[in-house]
Structure 1
């Protein structure tokens, strides 16, 4: 069975360095068999985690088939860790009491989790931005950033 691959890159902004005028963008390259599609969006004042969550919500929402394996490749380590370790399950069980560092992104997590659960065979892998696996996504991100 073929796997859908999502290659996701976003600008690496940490919260302490983001202002309302900080340019930011995300890119997702969707690949399935011989098909490829790129999604992207940009704006200002968003952290890397916020961008990655929005990209993941958008990409998963575009998929029509939920019966195929989905492998998400991302350059955002905290998001990959939370999803692969399923930390969000305890957040929901504890009435959305989340660690302070994740609170600014809570509404996006609450939007993403039901979407993730629609894909029974979803895996996520963290890659560094210089990993050759991520070349198309990071190159496309650079192009999107030059247009902001």
Structure 2
């Protein structure tokens, strides 16, 4: 017998997807001053659209096109994140959020983690308790980090100009 899904679970899953779609869209918008903005807008807009679709209809994760686009995007982001992590480990002078490569790495990890979570939800669109707990953590982490960084002017003081002028 399959475990019963709480009545609030599908709503929470949709809310997490709505927040993450908004986060990814906002992350794409703030790339306007970045020297390689075109690349980063695509990196963030693909999950924004895919996540928005999941928010509207969680069953979309079973669709072949959705699964294919998300899998290719996850692979691309994971490989890029691996390269950035290697570079970051070799050349980091400060903490993760103070280095541009560290912030880029964080973004790629968030994209990959969220897309993997959505991808795995195709078998259980409402999500189990663990799935929802992970979704809530992944949803809150980037949003709270963004608030923290926005409030911490000292942290932003060492950032390049293109990173300071958008937030």
Normalised by the shorter chain, which TM-score bucket?
0.3 to 0.5
TM-score normalised according to structure 1 size: 0.34
**Counting helix residues as a fraction of each chain, which structure ranks higher?**
2
Instruction: Tell me which structure has the larger Cα radius of gyration.
Output: 2
**Counting strand residues as a fraction of each chain, which structure ranks higher?**
1
TM-score normalised according to structure 2 size: 0.31
